[in-house]
Structure 1
Amino acid sequence: MALPRTDSLTLEVVELIGTVVARYYEEYDQAAAAHSLTGAQARVLGLLALEPMPMRRIARKLKCEPSNVTGIVDRLEVRGLVERRPDPSDRRVKLAAPTELGARTARELRDSLTFAREPLAELSDAERTVLRDLLRRMLGEGYPAGAG
């Protein structure tokens, strides 16, 4: 395994990635607040808009405890944004899934995030492709080619 690079270029790239992530979360939290949601609730809703999933998988994706996810899903369910349904492949497992209102809210949240889209629009298709491929490579072999 190669040692991590500590040259100035690598450190600058790491700093820039950190800044992009911080700005993304800041905008995401603002968009969530506009829908009276917490950032965590909005992230769960966004995940579920991609596909219904059990609490444990949500927790793994968000890197948090399943008990935290249960509370988030409970609050989203009370608001009519999420419902629990049996998993067709294993009826003992409950899937959290967005309701019609939840799916619409998730789309509105996603569509309101302009921070990265506006600068990306200034890049050519070739530049965006290179950026995407580099980010996928940084994430490792386990990241699906069609994801995201």
Structure 2
Amino acid sequence: MTRRDPLSLEVISSLAEVTGRFIADYDEAAAAHELTGAQARLLALVVTEPRPMSRLAVSMHCEPSNVTGLVDKLERRGLVERRPNPADRRVKLIAPTTEGVHLSGEVWADLDFAAEPLAALAEPERVALRDLLRKINPSTD
């Protein structure tokens, strides 16, 4: 069994703590807008780019049937819609409505935790942190 060096353990512990605090704050911000954390995360994903449900399931690390339920609920609220995929008309893309884009922006604006620690960093430090996080967490989309 390989033991981690103390510095790596400290970094891992700090990342876990930051992640936990972010998820709790994100869920609280979502709840203030009558969304679950999962609904808010799905909405944020489609705001950046309409996606098929299969890609949403991969991005959210869940079963496609879970995504279907989330999309159904968001669609009933008028926050997302199913659109034909121009590249493959058999596939539906999940896209935000104007109201969905607005509500997603409100949820992100309400994330107190996310803004608080980053405010303590100068812009070059935030750029360096972003770049380091990109390096250890390449996009899976």
* CA distance in 1 between partners of 2:117 and 2:26 (Å): 16
Q: What whole-Å deviation, never above 9, does each CA across 1:50-90 have from its counterpart, x for those lacking one? A: 11110000001011111100010001001111111101111
Q: How far does the alpha carbon of each residue in 1:104-145 deviate from its partner, in whole angstroms, 9 at most, with x for none?
A: 0011111111212222122112111111111111114xx39x
Match of 1:24 in 2: 22
What is the TM-score when the length of structure 2 is the normalising length?
0.93
Q: Runs (4+) of structure 1 moved beyond 2 Å?
A: none
Counterparts of 1:94 and 1:7, CA distance in 2? 47
Question: What SS is found at the alignment partner of 2:8?
Answer: helix
Alignment-derived partner of residue 64 in structure 2: 66
**Partner residue of 1:8?**
6
CA–CA distance in structure 2, aligned partners of residues 4 and 54 of structure 1: 40
Q: Any gaps of 5 or more consecutive residues in structure 2? A: none
Describe the shift of the 1:120–1:5 C-alpha distance in structure 2 as closer, same or farther (beyond 3 A). farther
Q: May I ask how many residue pairs the two structures share in their alignment?
A: 141
Structure 1 residues 113-122 or 96-105, which shifts more? 113-122
TM-score by length of 1: 0.89
What corresponds to 1:89 in structure 2? Answer: 87
Structure 1: distance between partners of 2:109 and 2:63:
28
Partners of 1:62 and 1:35 lie apart in 2 by: 20
Q: Which one of 103, 106, 114 corresponds to residue 105 of structure 1? A: 103
- 1:79 corresponds to 2:77: yes
Fraction of identical pairs, as percent: 55
How much is the aligned-residue C-alpha RMSD, in angstroms?
1.8
Three-state SS of the structure 2 residue aligned to 1:116 is helix
Whole-angstrom distance in 2 between the partners of 1:97 and 1:4: 45
Counterpart residue number, 2:41: 43
Cα offset for 1:5?
A: 6.0
Q: Unaligned 5+ residue runs, structure 1?
A: none
